[in-house]
Structure 1
Amino acid sequence: MVNTGDDAPDFSAPVANGDIEEFDLEAELDDGPLVLAFFPGAFTSVCTNEMCTFRDNLSQFEDVGADVFGVSRDTPFTLNEFRAQNDLNFGLISDLNRDIIEAFDVEMDFDALGVYGVAKRSVFVINADGEVTYSWVTDDPGVEPNYEEVAQAAAEA
């Protein structure tokens, strides 16, 4: 698992931001720290609440120069619709092939539902040097992160 103090795994992937563009971690770090919020799936109750909470608190991150991105296995087309229906004002990264989920070692299965290879709910703050300065991972998809703690970590990144 990627821990605080590790270099973040570099990756490129589609980002749903109203359009579909290419997200490149290294290039994005030029703009300052990043918050990557991994979530199991769009249009589920807890994931929707989590992404809407980030939306409602986005100014806390913008005030310290940090950008927030959600990350899930959903297609970029699904993520754009999820963004639109929830008025999300930040990009959602599509990890359809699970490359990012595997690189950050946050993959989980819902065996009882027959759903495999989704992201564990987790949050990583990455500073401009590419170092992970905060990591939070839960095995319980019903648990949300401590948003104040994430905002504080972004301010310190």
Structure 2
Amino acid sequence: MVSVGDSAPDFTAPKTDIDGDIESFTLSEHLDEAPIVLAFFPAAFTGTCTTEMCTFRDQMANFEGVGATVYGISIDTPFTLSAFAETNGLNFGLISDTNRELIDAYDVSMDFADLGVNRLAKRSVFVVDADGEITYAWVSDNPGVEPDYDAVEAAAETLEETTEAA
């Protein structure tokens, strides 16, 4: 599993912007947006996932206030994520991992075996610095548990303060 201090696995995947446009996104080409918060979630339009993404939406001013850029990531198609963003008024980009390459690279894959649904993203959050290093990692084995949003913001803020002091 990817841990604090590791290099963030680089990736290229489709990203849905807040205006509904879909474009290619490569993490290493966006490190100037650091701190970057990568928030993996199992599936759009499900209860806890909608709550989580809407909480990030509602706290976006806090993340922007510490210089952080937030991206949600799930295995949903870009078109599903576009509809999800529009329906919920999300104000950050969503990255589509339909090929499950990101959940494999970050080692956050899980199965809902009793439902016959396999290889979804575990609810997890990683903060990446401008050098591409993981500075915060939280991974839940319980899909009903949301991240500690204040801890994610604090990790991003600490990173931003360290960057400003350098």
Aligned with residue 59 of structure 2, among 57, 81, 86: 57
Q: Secondary structure at the match of 1:144?
A: coil
Where do 1:96-115 residues align within 5 Å? 96-115=98-117
Count of residue pairs brought into register by the alignment: 157
State how far apart, in whole Å, the 1-side matches of 2:62 and 2:135 are: 17
Is 1:150–2:148 an aligned residue pair? Answer: no
Aligned residue for 1:151, secondary structure, equals helix
Task: Indicate the SS of the match to 2:147.
Answer: coil
Partners of 2:148 and 2:157 in 1: CA distance: 14
Give the secondary-structure state (helix, strand or coil) at the position aligned to 1:83: helix
Q: Give me the identity figure in percent.
A: 62
Amino acid of the residue matched to residue 13 of structure 1?
A: A
Give the alignment of 1:5-24 within 5 angstroms: 5-17=5-17, 18-24=20-26
The secondary structure found in structure 2 opposite 1:6 is coil
TM superposition outliers: structure 1 runs of 4+ over 4 Å = none
Aligned to 1:4: 4
Q: Provide the C-alpha distance between the structure 2 equivalents of 1:13 and 1:33, rounded to a whole number of angstroms.
A: 19
The equivalent residue for 1:27 is 29
- Rg (Cα) greater in structure: 2
Instruction: Render the CA deviation track for 1:100-141: whole Å, top value 9, x for unaligned.
Output: 100000000000001000000000000111010000001100
Q: How does 1:125-140 map to 2 (within 5 A)?
A: 125-140=127-142
Unaligned stretches of 5+ in structure 2?
A: 160-166
